[in-house]
Amino acid sequence: MGARLGRTIKAALLQVHSIAGLALALLLALIALTGAVMSFEDEIVDHLNAGIMQVAPREMPALMPDELVGRLKPGQDVGHVSAVMLSSDPAAAVRVRFARDEQGARPTSLYVDPYDARVLGAPRGEEFFATVRRLHRWLLIPGDAKGWGRQVTGVVALGLIVMLLSGLVLRWPRRASSVKMWLKPNLGLGGRGLHRSLHAVIGTWVLPVYLVMTLTGLWYSFDWYKDGVVWLLSRPEVGAAKMQPRMSAKAPRATVNSGPAQMSFDRAWTTFQREEGGRFSRALLTLPPSPGTVIRIRSWAKDMTLEATRDEFRIDAITGKLVSAERYLDKTFGEKTIAAIYDIHRGAILGWPGKLAFMIAAGLMPLFSVTGILLYLSRRKLRRPARAPLARLVPGE
């Protein structure tokens, strides 16, 4: 009775695994391959743009952000500035980013000389990786993060979790304690046997990586999932603040030196420098969407390299008053985990070996799509009843 029940459960799981795999194979391969392409995006972009990211240091002080933006606009056909990346390195160029236009397109950013606002050039590779990122996150579906593409990728991630868990149960060997049974593919087989060995064994190798990718990827797809993680891992007062209603993306974006009470990068920058001194290596100043006057400044200390290890300040751009300061070193373990979601998702939390391992795992996804489809077709062929040739049939047979 127990053996029969076990076979029934495995047969049901096989159906679930097969249906989910057939339905999601193409999307899974697409999302995984685009993720693999982005694995070393920072290193690739830095290499492509090494010539415009550095300037010759000078004796004169660097321009303040407002003057730099003011000098940039008259000589360039650019839209509203939305963010400025500044550095404590006197040889580093300033990166200026622009808000989306009325059609929803975002102009390419520019690297600018911090001493005279001379435009050094637009970064190569930015548009390519922006398109790959939109394909990875939202499948190029209109609306980007505000469209339904993020829900589609979330459903795909949930489907992958179902496939991973059902696949683990289906391949559970009789000798579960044998490392060889779990991790060594039988390359001496051919046809269906080889496909099954590659699908099952290599799937076991990458299963932990895929689980990490999907569990962190859901953070970007579903607000209920994100809010649940925040509630679980952060302190109550921090969680309550992070789960406040989000401002609509349709609100017009604020601009520097506009409106009756002029917003100023300079006031926020001066307050930030007073708070941080020379401890930061780079800082990203981002204007708020209207209506709002609070500039967000994300900064990274000189000994911090991961995206997660940032401090975050909110400063009123009109008064220069510090509204809040959230420092990475003051976070609890759970809050540091939340901050590191992106670095965990791409394996960067483990350094370049982690990013390489995650890239290889993502690049292997088409293998499971192809071998899974081949196994399904061969299984259908084996189940098809044999039929006698029509020419040999005689009446009464």
HEC letters along 328-394: HHHCCHHHHHHHCHHHHHCCHHHHHHHHHHHHHHHHCHHHHHHHHHHHHHHHHHHHCCCCCCHHHCC
> Are residues 364 and 206 in contact, defined by beta-carbon separation less than 8 angstroms?
yes
Residue 397 has pLDDT above 50, yes or no: no
Residue 363: pLDDT above 80? yes
Give the CB-side neighbour count of residue 76, counting CA atoms within 13 A: 24
Query: Is residue 86's pLDDT more than 70?
Result: yes
Q: Which residue has the higher pLDDT, 178 or 238?
A: 178
pLDDT for res 260: 40
Q: Give Rg (Cα) of the chain.
A: 27
Dist CA 70 CA 105 (whole Å): 23
Q: Bigger pLDDT: 17 or 382?
A: 17
pLDDT of residue 75: 59
pLDDT, position 101 = 75
Q: Cα separation of 200 and 372, whole Å?
A: 10
Residue 254 contacts residue 54 (beta carbons within 8 Å): no
Say if residue 302's pLDDT is above 90.
no
Which of 327, 324, 237, 247 shows the shortest CA–CA distance to 288?
247
pLDDT at 198 over 60: yes
End-to-end CA distance of the chain: 38
Residue 370 to residues 164, 267, 364, 367: CA-CA distances in angstroms?
16, 57, 10, 5
Which residues in 36-114 belong to E strands, given as ranges? 81-87, 94-98, 110-112
CA–CA separation, 372 vs 175, rounded Å? 24
What tokens appear for 374 in the block? Answer: 């081949």
pLDDT of residue 249: 44
- pLDDT-derived band at 252 (thresholds 50, 70, 90) equals low
Give the pLDDT band (50/70/90) at residue 186: confident
Q: State the pLDDT confidence band at 167, using cuts at 50, 70 and 90.
A: very high
Q: What is the pLDDT of residue 80?
A: 85
Inform me whether the pLDDT recorded for 166 exceeds 70: yes
Is 36 a residue whose pLDDT tops 60? yes
Confidence of residue 290 (pLDDT cuts 50, 70, 90): low
Question: Tokens 């990718």 map to which residue?
Answer: 213
Q: Mean pLDDT across the stretch 175-183?
A: 80
Contacts of 28 (CB under 8 A, 6+ apart): 156, 159, 160, 365, 368, 369
- Asked if 293 and 89 touch (Cβ cutoff 8 Å), the reply is no
